[in-house]
A and B are shown apart, each in its own frame.
Chain A
C-alpha cells in the first residue's frame, strides 16, 4: 500500500504544473481571450523564481517572483492583443517564442546552480502515518496551493458577480460594453491572472518539482495546458482531472523506464505528447459540445467604438 500512496503523490506532483497553467488559461479564455503564450509565460516564471531563489535562498520569495514574471510577460500580450487589437493567435505565438528566448538569456548563468527548493510536507505523526495520512499530508506545499487555486477559480467563476461578468464578457463583449461594463479592463485583469498562474506553474517546476534551471525545462507543458482547457470543455474540475491524468501518463513513462521495459526511452517519452493529441481529437470530435461550451467571443478582438 505504501507504493500506492507514493504513486498517487507522484501523480499529483507531475500534474500540478498543468493545474496552475491550465486554470489560469481557463480564466483568460472565459473572458474571451486566447493567449497561446502559456509556454513562454511558464518559462519566464520558472527562470524568475529560480533566480530569486538562488539569490535570496527563499523559495517562497521565488514563487512570488515566478508569478510576477509570468504576469509581466502577459502584460505584453494584453497591450498588443487588447489595446492594439493585434491578432491573438500571432501575438500568443510571439509570446511563446519570446519567452523561450528571454528565459534562456537571463537564466544563462544559473544552469548548474544548486538551490534548496520547497520540500514535501512532513508533519510528524501525520505525513508518515498510515496511508490516509500520507495521501492527505504528504504532498508538496505547492500542490495544496494549486488545489486552493482550483477552489478559488471554481468559486469565483460560478459564485461571484465578477465571475458572472467575466463570463458575460467572454460570451458577448458588445452587450457587456453596451450596459456600461469595462470590457477591456476586465480582459486585462484576466490576462494578467492567467500570466501569474502560468508563472506559478513554471515556478513550481523550477523550485519544487525538480529544483533546477535548464533551458526549455517546461518541455511543452504550456501547450499541453492549452489542450487541457479544450479537453476540459472550459470546466475547472475537468481541468483538474485532466491534469492528473496527464500526471499519471508522465509518471507511467518514468516508471516504465525505471523498471527497464524493453522500449527505448525516447519512444516512451513520446507518450504524453501522443496522449495529448489523441485525447484532443476524441474530445474535439463532438463539435456541438465544443461550440456550446467554448466562450462565444474566444479569440476575437473587441474594439469599443
Chain B
C-alpha cells in the first residue's frame, strides 16, 4: 500500500484557501518543536513570539507599520508572478526608491518646502527610480533574453553598494561623528503619524490604496486579464497574440514601482534618514507574502500581517528569550516550504493505492 498523487481535472478552490492555513499551522508545530529543542518553554515562547508583541497599542501600530511595505511590495510582485515574470530583486528596487526619495528630502533640506509638495514628490521619485531599476532587468529580458531572476537579484547587490557609497561619501552627515548615515530629514519630509502613541504613519494608507489599484488592474483591465492568461496558459496566450514583452515590462515595472514607494515610506517613516540598510529584507520576505497570499490582493493583506508578526516575534524573542533574531528568517522559510508542500493538494488528490492490479 502506498499513497499516490492523482491529477485533479480542475484546481481545487478549497485547497487554494486551505493550503496557507495548513502551512501556518505546520509552521507553528515546527516552532513548538524548535523552542522545545532549544530548552525554552514552548507556551511561554509562543506567548513572547506571537502575543506579547501585539498586546499593546504600540505593538499593534508596529504590526501595521511593518505590514505596510510587505503588502505594498508583494502586491507589485504578484502582478508579475501571475504572468510568470519572476522579479526577485525588490530589495534592490526598494533601496533605489529610498535613495531617490531620500535624495530629494536631503536636497530640500532646510529650504522650507511645504510637506504637501515635498512628500508626493518624494513618493513619485521613489516609484520612478524603483521602476528604472526594475526596467534594467525588463530590458535585458526583452532585448537580450537574459533571465530576470538572475539580473534582478544581481542588481540588489549593486543597489546596496550604491547606497553604501552615497552615505559613506557625498551624502554623509558632516555632523554624524563619521558614522555612515545621512542627515536626518526635516519634519516636512516625514510621513504624518496615523495613530498617536505609535509609529504608524500614512504609509499604510498608501499601501492599501496601491493594493486596491492592483486589484482593479488584475480583475478589471484587459492587460491584467492578458497577464493572467499568459501565466496560466503561455501557449494559448501566444496564440491569442498576447505580447509577452509587454507582460514582462508591466510585471517588472509594477514590482519596481511598489518596491520604490516602499523604500520612500521606510526612509520617510520609521527611519527618517538614509542608513546603510533601509530594510530588514522586506523585498525578499514580500516574495513569501505574495505566495502565501495566493497572488491575490486580499490574501496578500492577510499574509503581510502574518509576516509582520514574524518580524515582531523575532525581535521580541531576542529581548525576552535571548533567541537570535535570525529565527525570523527560519520561520519565514519554513512557512514557504510548507505552503509549497500543501499546494500539491490544489492540483492533485492523495490516493491510497493498494497492490497494483495484475496486468490483464
Interface residues of A (CB under 8 A from B): 36, 76, 79-80, 84-87, 89-91, 93-95, 97-102, 104-105, 108, 215, 219-220, 223-224, 226-227, 230, 264, 266-267, 269-270, 273-274, 276-277, 280-282, 284-285, 287, 290, 303, 305
Contacts and interface: CB of A to CB of B under 8 A. Distances in A.
Given A86-B343, A97-B332, A270-B158, A284 B5 contact: no
Interface in B150-184: 150-151, 153-155, 157-158, 161-162, 164-165, 168-169
B155 A94 contact: no
Given A86-B340, A94-B340, A97-B288, A281 B327 contact: no
B263 to A, nearest CB: 18
A270 B337 CA distance: 32
Interface of B: 5, 7, 86, 88, 136, 140, 144-147, 149-151, 153-155, 157-158, 161-162, 164-165, 168-169, 284, 287-288, 291, 324, 326-334, 336-337, 340-341, 343-344, 347-348
Contacts, number: 142
Contacts of B5: 85, 303
Contacts of B86: 89
Contact of B329 (A100, A264, A274): A100
19 contacts: A84-B343, A87-B343, A97-B332, A98-B334, A98-B337, A99-B333, A101-B330, A101-B333, A102-B330, A105-B327, A264-B168, A267-B161, A270-B157, A273-B158, A273-B161, A276-B154, A277-B151, A280-B151, A285-B146
Given A84-B344, A281-B140, 7 more contacts: A101-B328, A101-B329, A102-B330, A270-B157, A273-B154, A277-B150, A285-B144
- Please name the 4 residue pairs, one residue from A and one from B, whose CB atoms are nearest each other, closest first: A101-B329, A98-B333, A266-B165, A104-B326
B287 A84 contact: no
Contacts of B284: 97
Contacts of B334: 98
A266 B161 contact: yes
A227 B333 contact: no
